[in-house]
């Protein structure tokens, strides 16, 4: 979706939110109202390429979101994890295009983890952000 389409359909609270200097390529972001909450829409080449949810109010239909424990994610079919330069996240088969970023970073950039491996991690690990990238089969 282009920036113009977002602005035509949604209430944009702020445009040009400072980007995360650790995430290469993102030079623009918009705070967008979703219900009574806001999300950060990251812009790349005048199109929204990802949406970041950092509050516990917005959740998936099966109640996953910020604050969800890692153990709850791992009970979902097809759960697997991976680490990037800045975070460790879990993807779940039923939520194509959605990553659940965790409260801890494990392993090196590019490292991947099975659900079985992640079951040995601390039960206190929770989701701190939900990143929507869109499903690309």
pLDDT per position in the chain (137 positions), as tens?
999 999 999 999 998 865 555 555 566 889 999 988 999 999 888 889 999 999 999 999 999 999 999 999 999 999 999 999 889 999 999 999 999 999 999 999 999 999 999 999 999 999 999 999 988 76
Supply the pLDDT for residue 136. Answer: 74
Domain range summary for the chain, segments of one domain joined by +: 3-50, 70-132
The residue count of the chain comes to 137
pTM of structure: 0.88
Pairing of strands 12-15, 28-34: antiparallel
Give the Cα separation of 14 and 75 in Å (integer): 37
Contact present, 70 and 106 (Cβ < 8 Å): no
Supply the pLDDT for residue 45. Answer: 84
Alpha helices in the chain (DSSP H): 3-9, 70-74, 115-118
Would residue 6 be called left, alpha or beta, if left means φ above 0 and alpha means ψ between -120 and 50 degrees? alpha
Any idea what DSSP says for residue 44?
E
């Amino acid at each position: 979706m282009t920036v113009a389409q977002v602005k035509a359909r949604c209430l944009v609270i702020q445009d040009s939110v400072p980007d995360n200097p650790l995430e290469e390529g993102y030079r623009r972001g918009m705070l967008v109202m979703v219900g009574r909450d806001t999300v950060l829409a990251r812009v790349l080449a005048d199109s929204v390429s990802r949406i970041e949810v950092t509050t516990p109010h917005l959740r998936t239909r099966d109640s996953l979101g910020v604050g969800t424990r890692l153990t709850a994610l791992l009970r979902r079919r097809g759960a697997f994890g991976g680490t990037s330069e800045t975070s460790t996240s879990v993807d779940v088969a039923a939520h194509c295009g959605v990553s659940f970023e965790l409260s801890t970073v494990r392993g090196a950039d590019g490292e991947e983890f099975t659900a079985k491996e992640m079951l040995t991690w601390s039960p206190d690990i929770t989701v701190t952000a939900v990143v929507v990238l869109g499903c690309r089969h």
